[in-house]
Structure 1
Amino acid sequence: MSKIALIGCTARKQDFSCPAIEMYTKSNYFNLKLDYCKKIDVDKIFILSAKYGLLEPEAIIEPYNLHLKETSKEYKLNWSKEVLKDLKEKTDLENDEFIILAGNDYMKYLIEHILNTYNPVKGLGIGQQMKFFKEFECD
């Protein structure tokens, strides 16, 4: 069993082509989630991108301006279907543990297909989430 982190992308992005893990580092919120992943020692990180779907951290991507929240239900359903297909190829949806660090727009149609999930900040606003990530210490 592996520990997999699913991190939602952010609106703040670099303005040049770069690896996905670098694209979103203009966002303090994204960086706090990355730091949290290091603290809990995840085995693999995937980024959920409104444009690109499931991204490996090292995938080179172009800057974009698309917010999943602003897309149609049909777009979200198709997006989720593609992400789920990719997740099935790269993970074990029944046995891996998934750390959810993405909002409801990203997870709404995915969560029912993933057996073992943990969202440490479920129900918290972004400010509260950032506080949690800043203050989190491993035992």
Structure 2
Amino acid sequence: MHHGFPPAKDGQGPIASRKHADGDSVSVRGSIDGILPATVRPPVAQPASFQRTESNMTKIALVSCAKSQHTQPIAAKDLYTSALFRASRRFAERFADDWYILSAAYGLLHPDQVVAPYERPLNTLTRSERQTWVDEMIEQSRATLPLASEVIVLASTHYAEGLVTWLTERGHNVILPLGTLRIGQRIQWLRQQAQPNQDQ
């Protein structure tokens, strides 16, 4: 079963294993802009088609927010209007059991939570402010995400850095299907995977 990552030429898939505190081996598949882990090969060119694993793990998708937003308070899933967010939402709704939005202003958002629009680009925060955001996101994730769940991260470096490290160390099976694709490539790939006739 593959997760959108073509096997390397030497036959070794892009998987990095770590030992969790309880001794169990955990793995991270893929890479986001090369941030984690350094030993994982990012997908080359276009990733293969995505397939759900056959494990009994709960599948959770984390989707980054977007700058383009509606002007009035609305459910978080409808607040962001960018093409990338809409494509990520459709992917999450198809492949995950539950999904959440990584918001620069509100932290971990349930899609149905009503929130007001805001302007707080994460890439404009200082190092200290970003670390505070990561710490708050970790605490929210600890209270929300079930243990031993599979987490599909659809987010840029600014949103994934730090959080992915913590998820891995907590024992989640973390999947990073977008690799180093650029925004246009991400939108195209996500739309393709969300098609009803796409094999799962």
TM-score with structure 2 setting the length? 0.65
User: Aligned pair 1:21/2:77, yes or no?
Assistant: yes
Equivalent of 1:131, from 179, 182, 188?
Answer: 188
**Which one has a larger percent helix, Structure 1 or Structure 2?**
1
Q: Distance in 1 between matches of 2:88 and 2:199?
A: 14
Residues 59-74 of structure 1: pairs in structure 2 closer than 5 A = 59-74=113-128
Where in structure 1 do 4 or more consecutive aligned residues deviate above 4 Å? none
- 1:77 and 2:128 matched: no
Identity of aligned residues (%): 28
- Structure 2: which 5+ runs fail to align? 1-56
SS in 2 for 1:51: coil
Q: What secondary structure, in the 3-state scheme, does the structure 1 residue paired with 2:91 have? A: helix
Aligned length: 136
CA contact (8 A) 2:62 2:151 kept: yes
- Looking at structure 2, the residues matched to 36 and 126 of structure 1 have their Cα atoms a distance apart, in angstroms, of 15
Residue number in structure 2 paired with 1:87 = 141
Equivalent-residue separation in structure 2 for 1:9 and 1:138 (angstroms): 27
Shift of 1:39: 2.7
- Maintained 8 Å contact 1:54/1:83: yes
Is the 1:45–1:57 Cα contact (8 Å) retained in structure 2?
A: yes
* Residue type of the alignment partner of 1:48: L
> What is the CA–CA distance in structure 2 between the aligned matches of 1:63 and 1:104, rounded to whole Å?
22
Whether 2:168 is the aligned partner of 1:101: answer no
Q: Which runs of 5+ in 1 are unaligned?
A: none
TM-score normalised over the length of structure 1: 0.93
Please, what is the CA RMSD of the aligned residues? 1.1
Q: Is the 8 A contact 1:3 1:43 kept in 2?
A: yes
Report the alpha carbon displacement of residue 32 of structure 1 after superposing the two structures with TM.
0.6
**Structure 1 residue 27: deviation in Å?**
1.4
**Structure 2 Cα separation of the partners of residues 2 and 70 of structure 1:** 34
Larger radius of gyration: 2
Distance 1:33 1:117 in 2: 17
